[in-house]
Amino acid sequence: MRQVVMHAPGDVRVEDREDPRIIEPTDAIIRLSATCICGSDLWPYRGAEPVDHQVMGHEYVGVVEEIGSDVRTVKVGDFVVGSFWASDNTCEICRAGYQAYCTHRVLMGTLGTQSELARIPLADGTLVATPGMPEPDLIPSLMAASDVLGTGWFAAVAAQAGPGKTVAVVGDGAVGLLGILAAQQLGAERIIAFSRHADRQALAREFGATDIVEERGDAGVARVKELTDGLGAHSVIEAVGTQEAMMQAIHSARPGGHVGFVGVSHDVAIPGDELFMAGVHLHGGPAPVRQYLPELIQLIWDRKIEPGKVFDLTLPLERAAEGYRAMDERTATKVLLTL
Ligand SMILES: [Zn+2]
């Protein structure tokens, strides 16, 4: 099969690799219909994380091609969506809704899904089948559910977005934009998007943003305060992972407010005194996307949401290197790779 391998920072290649095989009786093999490049794939690409001949990708949708002898709930021929942590969905942590911390979890990025085929561990727990074979135009949205939509959704839930709430969203990448969509679906009254890119502002508004703030840092916080009678937002989504973004999120929340943080943290250090004085709730981390998949798949299937709009560049898998370059140079927000 063909698979993306990052040899070193900036060096992405598509190579012939051995087809994956069933190893555990709980495994399934899927043939991918699409995959994509994640913002987090840019950290090793830019040399901010070590990388040496690493298979890439952790987002996937496709058709089940083979199942292990213990797989019960998915069958050959099913169209399935899974998330970046394989999880059994039966342990105590999974049953509480925190499948990203499953006691048997397997990180899909270590197996790689920017490939023609992928081995999915714990298939019964990990994979959710769609009601039937999707129309081709639904595939980008189902693909988004695999990570960026599920992550944005968790951020909105963690921030307690809902009716009567003002939600501020730090980060206008795919996760931030879909955090806006999630907040809107959860019934938020007002959604303030931080963005300085015209195209992303337009998509933010389409997804439900009511206000756009172009300022960042302290100036951005001041604008949110102006828009909320000096109080700050009830709910804040942090979808970047930098020090500036995290502090902007904490300071944009009102006392007693909630911050849902899902930007993969890079050298973020929250000063204790600022945290103490802020009086906000913080909840975040790797999103338990699996918890939301059945609901998100249904919303997409019923064409009530179209999260696939975050993909602004589509390339065949063979041209993955171009996709990485486009995301690195910010000429694309999110790249869909087709097979
Ligand atoms: Zn579990």
- Domains of the chain: which residue ranges? 2-133+306-338, 151-284
pLDDT score recorded for residue 295: 98
Rounded CA gap, 92 and 98, in Å?
9
pLDDT score recorded for residue 53: 96
Backbone angles phi, psi at 90, to 5 degrees: -125, -20
Can you state the percent helix, strand and coil of the chain, rounding each to 5?
35, 25, 40
Q: What is the pTM of this model?
A: 0.96
In the structure, ligand 1 is a single-atom ion and the residues with CB under 5 Å from it are 87-88, 91, 94, 102
- The two tokens of residue 158 are 């963690």
Separation of 95 CA from ligand 1 center, angstroms? 7
Collapsing DSSP states into helix, strand and coil, what is residue 46?
A: coil
pLDDT score recorded for residue 331: 93
Q: What is the DSSP string of 87-150?
A: --S-SHHHHTT-GGG-TT-EEGGGT--SBSEEEESSHHHH-EE-SSPPPGGGHHHHHHHTTHHH
| Regions of the chain short of the pLDDT cut 50 | none
Rounded CA gap, 112 and 220, in Å?
38
Nearest to residue 313, comparing CAs of 36, 97, 69, 45?
36
- The two tokens of residue 284 are 């975040």
pLDDT score recorded for residue 61: 98
Separation of 101 CA from ligand 1 center, angstroms? 7
Contact 30, 64 (CB under 8 A): yes
Topology of domain 151-284, CATH: Rossmann fold (3.40.50)
pLDDT score recorded for residue 174: 96
For residue 300, is it left (φ>0), alpha (ψ between -120 and 50) or beta? Answer: alpha
pLDDT score recorded for residue 282: 98
Rounded CA gap, 104 and 275, in Å?
33
Separation of 315 CA from ligand 1 center, angstroms? 34
pLDDT score recorded for residue 162: 98
Separation of 292 CA from ligand 1 center, angstroms? 15
Separation of 25 CA from ligand 1 center, angstroms? 17
Nearest to residue 326, comparing CAs of 316, 334, 318?
334
Q: Which helix (H) or strand (E) holds 36?
A: strand 28-37
Separation of 58 CA from ligand 1 center, angstroms? 18
- The two tokens of residue 252 are 């944009």
Separation of 282 CA from ligand 1 center, angstroms? 24
Separation of 146 CA from ligand 1 center, angstroms? 18
Rounded CA gap, 295 and 301, in Å?
10
Q: What's the CATH code, domain 2-133+306-338? A: 3.90.180.10
Domains 2-133+306-338 and 151-284 share a fold: no
Contact 20, 68 (CB under 8 A): no
Separation of 288 CA from ligand 1 center, angstroms? 11
Nearest to residue 144, comparing CAs of 309, 271, 10?
309
- Strands 106-107 and 11-16, by their bridges, are unpaired
pLDDT score recorded for residue 188: 98
